[in-house]
Amino acid sequence: MKLTKLLATAAVAMGLATTAMAEKTKVGFIYVGPVGDGGWTYEHDQGRKAVVAEFGDQVETVYQENVPEGADAERAITQMALQGADLIFTTSFGYMDPTINVAKKFPNVKFEHATGYKTSDNVSIYSARFYEGRAIQGHIAGNMTESNIIGYIASFPIPEVIRGINSAYIHAKKVNPDVQFKIIWAYTWFDPAKEADAAKALIEQGADVILQHTDSTAPQAAAQAAGNVVTFGQASDMGEYAPFPRVSSIIDDWAPYYIARTKAVMDGTWETKSTWDGIGAGMVGIGEISDRVPADVKAEALAMKEALASGEYHAFTGPINKQDGTPWLAEGETADDGTLAGMSFYVEGIEGDVPN
């Protein structure tokens, strides 16, 4: 194929050029949203800035925001590779096939795809175990709710989100057997107006804790207006709503990973791997637990964080039954990554069905 050949030649030429010029490593980022979304893309861009801060003149970073998934993504990635990027992070699930396609044409460029499941010689995948953070949230939420109703704003019915709901529920239930989850599927990752309405609906139906798997701060604002409702930051710290309603947060912290992988490319030690890191590796950050959380609960939460980080505790530890009552994990058994990755069922106790 002519194009492949041309591209490969160009890539080789660029490779030679970069080594000849200087050891400036070029790192590219493809973003699905605007860097100003305050959530998912914003945190990836923070990771990019951390790479710049870490390596200074040794790196050059480029990014492209608002890249639609599909044909446009393939072009954006190719373009970065053509322009001499040595390492490219594609930060949305929908970039999976485009990343693999482009990687075939540029064997000398390294690719990193977030949240996907396809790897190749020069494509690694990485994702974060956000469900570990959800466990801590569930623990705090179960303790703090007085109405025993916890509202959950979910995005799309995919394993990532279902995992989070299950993890939060299991740990809320553990400390508060009467707890009930009310789940709203917003069918969006980011729509402030809709998220605000969803939060209001949950609050009006008695929820005094709101967990969200959508990225805007709109639910925080709704909780603040309501007065007595607890929230948690999602994706970024959302610290402007601390100490209350936001009592803690799950932070996507891509910086350590981005720095490590950039370093690996610089040292020539980069190899394909599948990374699924949690609190331990620092990919999942737990935002400061504010003083509005009772001291003993805070201490327990921090202890759980330690245990999750060290690996001595797994967020899905049996006995756990599936929603229909069939056993899933026996006493002391922990969930395997395969089941977690494809999780499509609720655990026992959650009401309602996963929509499909």
Looking only at residues 291 through 330 of this chain, which bind another protein when binding is defined by CB under 8 A?
A: none
- The nearer residue to another protein, 194 or 280, going by C-beta atoms, is 194
| H/E run at residue 61 | strand 59-64
Site string for another protein, 17-36 (x = CB under 8 A): -----------x----xxxx
Question: 193 to 222, contacts with another protein by CB under 8 A?
Answer: 193-194, 196-198, 200-202, 204-207, 216-218, 221
- The nearer residue to another protein, 182 or 263, going by C-beta atoms, is 182
**Separation of alpha carbons 245 and 338, rounded Å:** 36
**Separation of alpha carbons 130 and 215, rounded Å:** 14
**Separation of alpha carbons 331 and 276, rounded Å:** 25
Q: ω before 245 within 30° of 0 (cis)?
A: yes
User: Does residue 288 touch another protein according to CB under 8 A?
Assistant: no
C-beta atoms surrounding 110 within 10 Å: 24
Question: 160 to 179, contacts with another protein by CB under 8 A?
Answer: 162
CB neighbour list of residue 34: distance below 8 Å, 6 or more residues apart: 41, 65, 66
Smallest separation (angstroms) from another protein to the CB of 36: 4
- The nearer residue to another protein, 83 or 228, going by C-beta atoms, is 83
User: Does residue 74 touch another protein according to CB under 8 A?
Assistant: yes
Site string for another protein, 107-136 (x = CB under 8 A): ----------x-------------------
Smallest separation (angstroms) from another protein to the CB of 307: 28
State the DSSP code for 111: E
Smallest separation (angstroms) from another protein to the CB of 331: 27
Q: What are the CA-CA distances from residue 273 to residues 76, 90, 101, 123, 294 (Å)?
A: 23, 15, 18, 8, 41
Question: 82 to 101, contacts with another protein by CB under 8 A?
Answer: 82-83, 93-94, 97, 101
Interface stretch with another protein, choices 56-64, 134-142, 278-286, 314-322 (CB under 8 A)? 56-64
- The nearer residue to another protein, 13 or 299, going by C-beta atoms, is 13
CB neighbour list of residue 332: distance below 8 Å, 6 or more residues apart: 317, 318
Phi-psi category of residue 103: left, alpha or beta, with phi > 0 → left and psi -120 to 50 → alpha = alpha
Question: 219 to 278, contacts with another protein by CB under 8 A?
Answer: 221, 240
Applying CB under 8 A, which of residues 75, 263, 292, 322 lies at the interface with another protein? 75
- Give the Cα-Cα-Cα angle 183, 188, 189 (nearest 5 degrees): 95
